[in-house]
Amino acid sequence: MTDTRSKLLFMAGLLACQLATAQTTAPEAADASLAPFHPLPAPQTHELVLKPGDRLAICGDSITEQKMYSRLMEDYLTMCAPELAVSVRQYGWSGERADGFLARMTNDCLRFNPTVATTCYGMNDHEYHVYEERVGRAYRQNSLAIVEAFKAHGVRVIQGSPGCVGKVPSWVKKPNGTVEDLNLSLCQLRNIGIEIAEKEKEGFADVFWPMLTAGARAERTYGASYAIAGADGVHPGWAGHTIMAYAFLRALGLKGDIGTFTVDLRKGRLTTSKGHELVSANNGEFQIRSSRYPFCCCVEPVEPTAPYPACASDDPSKDSSIRSAMTLIPFNQELNRLMLVGKHGKASTYTVTWGSRSKTFPAQALARGINLAQEFPLNPFCAAFAKVDSAVAAKQQFETVEIKQRFRSPEAKANMEQVVAQVEQEREPLVAAIQAGFGPVTHTIKIEAVEGR
């Protein structure tokens, strides 16, 4: 390729984030801050990418090393889709660019024979300034090399985009560009990622655009202090990480059908979908045993390794809340549907009690189906969910120690294979604790007609 042609191709890619075309995803017209952004349309996942028994590698920079979106993903796969029996490892490394992972992926990742991998680079690659052609060229080259290396080892890949920034971070001593300039640069790397995914016929997770648009909505709804990209402008809190997890889970093709409970209100009978079984039924009260959990956006604390939002103190108007992210993206609608359908009711209104919480619904809404996971944030699964999440957090924390310390120790330099065997032996009980913590939950749903309505 000639230098002139190369420059033209890179300039065309940059213009894709700056010029409107008939194919781009239109920004929200009501928000002027999004007007400069017209990203390329992201490819959609229509089929389940995951296969039973898959080994998932979650790869990325310091945002991945926060062990938040990776933890939410492992929580979801463990408890909401247990039939897939997917095992997970996270490989986050602070400050890393795509070339950094490329240099270490054989030693740190491929040795464990992953079958599917997600990548999330670009934040450090864009160098926190106005887009330059050399930056795009390096990101393209290194990202493509990562995908090709994974594919050469039979690994299916989800090419993830970088997220967005909320401000110029403090560690940038000589800023070169505004926040908008930085996000336009990240948007360009996102577009390059789409081109790579389409060329290689692999999946793509759009992290950038959902974060940017959700952040704009959040500021309008909850105030200017809401930081979707985190207090430092780069490392998100729970809300931003929930959007990231959502992007990757959707890219993996997960459909979100947690279960359906169908009640004949006239006959007092309930049927369940796969993963749930009716234990008993008595006068509108149904006891159910479930081996699939809904995703819990808050929990009853169990002193986890890393704190998870507690229902008692969770504020859905804050960027520290998973529940707040669920007001900005269709997480519950697309990934977390535990439906209660009540048919043939004679009353106009019914009260549904699930665990210790009650809510009243019109009969028409109950007939269409209500999403228990959305309507009851604090529910009978929260305690069990917290226990498993705590075990997931402990395992992922060890994985950072494993890769960054133990694999870089003097002992590893002397005999890497011996260190790997020893560290993996230490990791096994942490993996076992996740499975030991995950078991069927027995819960009760009571449906009562509201008198006089």
DSSP secondary structure string, 231-289?
A: TTSSS--HHHHHHHHHHHHHHTT---EEEEEEEETTTTEEEE-TTEEEEEEETTEEEEE
pLDDT digits (tens, 9 = 90+) for 51-99: 999 999 999 999 999 999 999 999 999 999 999 999 999 999 999 999 9
Tell me, letter by letter, the H, E, C secondary structure of 336-364. Answer: CEEEEEEECCCCCEEEEEECCEEEEEEHH
pTM over 0.85: yes
Phi-psi region of 189 (alpha: psi -120 to 50; beta: other; left: phi over 0): alpha
* Residue the block writes with tokens 């996000």: 183
- Domains along the sequence of the chain with CATH: 3-251 (3.40.50.1110), 257-301+316-382+440-449 (no CATH)
CB atoms within 10 A of CB 292: 20
Helices (H), 34-95: 62-65, 69-75
Q: Around 312, how many Cα atoms within 13 Å sit in the side-chain half-sphere?
A: 4
What pLDDT is stored for residue 301 in this prediction? Answer: 66
Strand pairing category for 55-60 and 337-343 = unpaired
Q: Around 1, how many Cα atoms within 13 Å sit in the side-chain half-sphere?
A: 8
Mapping DSSP to helix (H, G, I), strand (E, B) and coil, where does residue 194 land? helix
How far apart (Å, rounded) are the C-alpha atoms in residues 264 and 358?
20
State CA 417 to chain mean position distance: 33
- Give residues with Cβ within 8 angstroms of 111, minimum separation 6: 420
How far apart (Å, rounded) are the C-alpha atoms in residues 69 and 248?
9
**Residue ranges, the chain, pLDDT below 50:** 1-29
What pLDDT is stored for residue 302 in this prediction? Answer: 62
- Phi first, then psi: what are they for 354, rounded to 5°? -125, 110
How far apart (Å, rounded) are the C-alpha atoms in residues 345 and 332?
26
Contact 270, 263 (CB under 8 A): yes
What pLDDT is stored for residue 26 in this prediction? Answer: 39
CB atoms within 10 A of CB 61: 26
Mapping DSSP to helix (H, G, I), strand (E, B) and coil, where does residue 402 land? helix
Contact 52, 219 (CB under 8 A): no
Mapping DSSP to helix (H, G, I), strand (E, B) and coil, where does residue 443 land? strand
